[in-house]
Structure 1
Amino acid sequence: MSHAEGVPHAVVTGGAGFLGSHLCDALLHTGYRVTCIDNFETGRRANVEHLRDTPTFRLLRGDMSDGVEVDEPVDVIFHLAGPAAPSDYLLDPVSTMRIASVGTINALDLARDRSARFALASTSEIYGAATDEPNREDDAGHVNPADGYGAYYEARRFAEALTTAYHTTYNLPTAIARIFNTYGPRMRLDDGRMLSRFIRQALAGAPLTVPGSGSETRSLCYVDDAVAGIMALASGAYPGPVNIGSPDEVTILSIARDVAEIAGRSGEMIFVEAPPNEVHTRKPDISLALQLLGWRPRTSVRDGLADTLAWFRDAGVRHV
């Protein structure tokens, strides 16, 4: 495929995933040509099918753990490859750690070879157990590498350390985005998460199963807002990390009620025992993002949920 000269080129690893596909859309919309790399273990070809005939979009099937050749200049690499849902990263912890280590090294080496900027999609989970206080970027975090989720926590922390090492050792321009709960069209409804379950149940006309008393809270960031934050961070000079998420807390019960109402259901709910590892609350302090990037989420939870349910209703059961 030939690309127009002078048009900036972005590579998005994991670009067929939920967040990656929206990032591809946004980059194309702002004038980038985009190479999307995905091995389709957790990403879905359907997420980028609408881009198939876009002349400035290219899809490469490949695994960053094995390395992928990109035979042209690159301006920026967004590294999103790797499982993000518990239903995926618990399935094969070794693969989870391999993509975060070997895969990140390969992506960083590609950025270094092409003198490209490198943006890492990290996660709020590196902070460890949630507390009542918003997470700040200077929080060291506290995780147990030997618990059942250690492969994911430590994989993401290691990816951040690698990115920082390439920045300090090779003067590679880097950025680290610590992404908090993100939702929207194309999110996977089989990932085991609370909001995914609510949407799936509401669309099926089933009662919504609410963990615990429903008084626990979540901070939900609509995907378009998260993508805008990631792109703003990648276009600047600050290496990060920077929290990208919503600082506004809403209760699980209010989320369930909104989903049921928007879906036009009766709102029947069943309260079930919360899992022992259920996070009671987690929200970011986004002061740094506001100060450095002028960024904060713009979409209300109600509006974001309405857009999300409308998309799934239009997409049909094959996506649910």
Structure 2
Amino acid sequence: MPALTARAERWALAQPFVISRGVKTEAEVVVAEITAGPHRGRGEAVPYPRYGETVGGVLAQIEDARGRIEAGAGRAGLQAILPAGAARNALDCALWDLAAKQAGVRAWTLAGRDRLDPVKTCFTISLGPVDAMAEAARANARRPMLKLKIGARDDLDAVAAVRAAAPRARLIVDANEALTFEELRRLAPDLARLGVMLVEQPLPAGQDGALEGYASPVPLCADESLHTRAELAACARIYSLINIKLDKAGGLTEALALAADARAAGLGLMVGCMVATSLAMAPAMIVAQGAEVVDLDGPLLLTRDREPGLSIQGSILEAPSPDLWG
């Protein structure tokens, strides 16, 4: 019979990570492990306060699910046991890892893929003084894509400074719900002029209705407004792309289904992450195959990564080894 354990871990960040909602200096993650005979599956998730989650609450959810997991509930059954969120993500990814090891194949094979290609991630520039954001962009100017956090009075100055510091990089801006519709309409033409390719979650979730019928000069991407397939139809009327994160979707199982439905609806895909280790990025790489934008830079923001972690060359993430996941 399977045996389930879960624990919390803290991973220090190389620099404070600043968005419009606040600052963090460490990644707090929950790791679930499911053991069956000689095989062990692992999954990592990040409890996110924006969605009412805490480390203690996620561990309690996993503990509540223990009996059914140890009784043999698999990935399909898990979807009915827990709601979408970090707890289900940790367990779902652990079950994928375990199933791959039991079958002697890679997880992407179970997901119907012949191979897992490397992916090219963007790199995040935290919200801060304009000079500091420009310096961070200059230090990472050779990366192919930069994502800068906005949500301050001098947003346009910051974007212009980042563009000047990294003239060849593709730029994404992420407001994390910090703008009003009027602010977006005012900023968008200048963002387009500065070569910004995407604006992520400009308005607060729940206020997206203001965007209906708005022809933005820069494509808009839903993040906080979309967690699972339940929100897809509403977002498809407003956004050009959606950001799929395993912690929001509640695991790889729902994320893959969401990606397929989004493609069928004509939406572009961004695959993102919370700040976490390579163990959290590895399953997301399956969803990221063919995505227009990949934002799996969590390990690049830490002082040290899990060992073994993903092999990362610059901004290129290679397929995980079986010792890491899948």
Shorter-chain TM-score: which interval? under 0.3
TM-score, normalised to structure 2, is 0.27
Quick one: higher RCO (CA 8 Å, sep 6+), 1 or 2? 2
Q: Point out the structure with the larger strand share.
A: 2
